[in-house]
Amino acid sequence: MDEKGVSRYFNEILDQIPEGLMVVDPKGNILFVNEAMAQLTGYGAGELAGSPCTILNCDVCEVIRSQAKKHFCNLFEIKKVKGKRCLFMKKNGTYASVKKDASVLRDSEGHLLGALEIYHDISELDKKDRQIEALSRKANEEAGFYGMVGKSTVMKKVFQIVEKVAQSDAPVLITGESGTGKELVAQAIHRMGTRREGPMVQFNCAALNPSLLESELFGHVKGAFTGAYRHRKGRFEAAQGGDIFLDEIGDLPLSLQAKLLRVLEMKQIERVGDHAPINVDVRIITATNRDLLGLIQQGKFREDLYFRINVVPVHLPPLRERVDDIPLLVDAFLRRLRKRSHKEIPGIDPEVMDFFMRYRWPGNIRELKSTLEYAFVVAESGVIQMNHLPKTSNRSDDVPTAVSMPMNPKEEEEKASLLKALEQSRGNKTEAARILKVHRMTVWNRMRKYGIHMKQHVADHERD
């Protein structure tokens, strides 16, 4: 076999290797790539051979080259690179996530010939990591509607809306006060939706200043600004084929609102420092606790963006409007707390539940959860008592104590029957519910409706 035949024979062997292989000379010119490397980059083998290796715009290579003293690249001085994660730019402008091994090549006399670089495609590994994370999160959730607890009429309606929304690919705007569970709704939409096999990327728009926000959302190329030593894949690129959840959308600066509007209209982004458009296939889910219409009137939010993100609205009610769910939430949170500790706190005192049902919960579910976490730590054993609650939650001024609207004859009769049942049961709500032939939750709701505080009522009755 002649020299050309031998060369062709070895090239065929190298093309069977699943990892991307590339050989460069000491000046950085590409001498050879195998078929796997061509597929990984999107270039043809003929396009790469003879081109400078900088054609791949690899962020790690840029750093290694900048450290070189004698040669084109510092690799020829350190002689080996092992397991280096990096991003290089494919022919279509997207990033390839790879792990790189490289070592120098010398002849039998020790003369430098070039370097062999091996690229392992780790995009599937990244995808599996995201799936494992999602499964772990799912395993830690309690029974309920995709992590959301509630059986009240208003929450049942929310669950029905979320089920329908998930089957659409239209932008979703989730509104509601802080602490109502908007993130859980976004996760439920993703997990039930047509993009559930893709990534779910979350980002808080109020977390960073405008310049950093743009880089986080859309990514940047190395050298785009001071300190940009490597490529950065933005959140939109990371969400390719899946959903992106932009929380606190009302805090997004106006300059970025215009860029987000372009993404919605053109399905394209531009990285910071690069003017080449990148196609993105993502579904946008946004959330806010702010009044966007009010912000529009103040000139702080774009009206055209509002109509683009508010295609499918989902509103979450505050906890004070779904008090029927409080016992369920308390039970769910206590179960989680018991799993995380060795304490056996069986529940809460009826007086505490009475307070919880009447308290207005300005911080909503988040405040209820933190209140129980605090009480769980303070309580040594037994049920949680009023003295175990944090002082910020045990506030009488947030508890309604009287009915402001006049009652009709039916309500007066209902209140009288309730008071009589509570007196007969000496404050035992379960027994009072049995006397009235209603559910215990109904007793709690009527007590809240008529401003009846059980401890005070029993004390007044005993004085009489």
Angstrom distance (rounded) from CA 172 to CA 285: 5
Backbone φ and ψ for 266, nearest 5 degrees, come out as: -105, -15
Residue 461 scores a pLDDT above 60: no
CA atoms within 13 A on the CB side of 462: 8
The residue among 117, 119, 121 whose CA lies nearest residue 23 is: 117
Do residues 263 and 256 lie in contact, with contact meaning Cβ atoms separated by under 8 Å?
A: no
CA atoms within 13 A on the CB side of 179: 14
Residues 6+ apart with CB under 8 A from 403: 449, 450, 451
Got the DSSP string for 29-41? BEEEE-HHHHHHH
Q: SS3 for 272?
A: strand
Residue 107 scores a pLDDT above 80: yes
E strand or H helix at 77: helix 75-78
Backbone torsion region of residue 72, taken as left when φ is above 0, otherwise alpha when ψ lies between -120 and 50, otherwise beta: alpha
Q: What is the mean pLDDT of residues 439-448?
A: 76
Angstrom distance (rounded) from CA 117 to CA 97: 15
Q: For residue 356, what are its two tokens? A: 């919880």
pLDDT value at position 331? Answer: 92
Do residues 251 and 292 lie in contact, with contact meaning Cβ atoms separated by under 8 Å?
A: no
Q: How many residues does the chain have?
A: 464
> How sure is the predictor about 326, in pLDDT bands with cuts at 50, 70 and 90?
very high
> How sure is the predictor about 184, in pLDDT bands with cuts at 50, 70 and 90?
very high
Angstrom distance (rounded) from CA 334 to CA 353: 13
Residue 4 scores a pLDDT above 80: no
> How sure is the predictor about 300, in pLDDT bands with cuts at 50, 70 and 90?
very high
pLDDT in tens, 238-286: 999 999 999 999 999 998 999 999 999 999 988 888 878 889 999 999 9
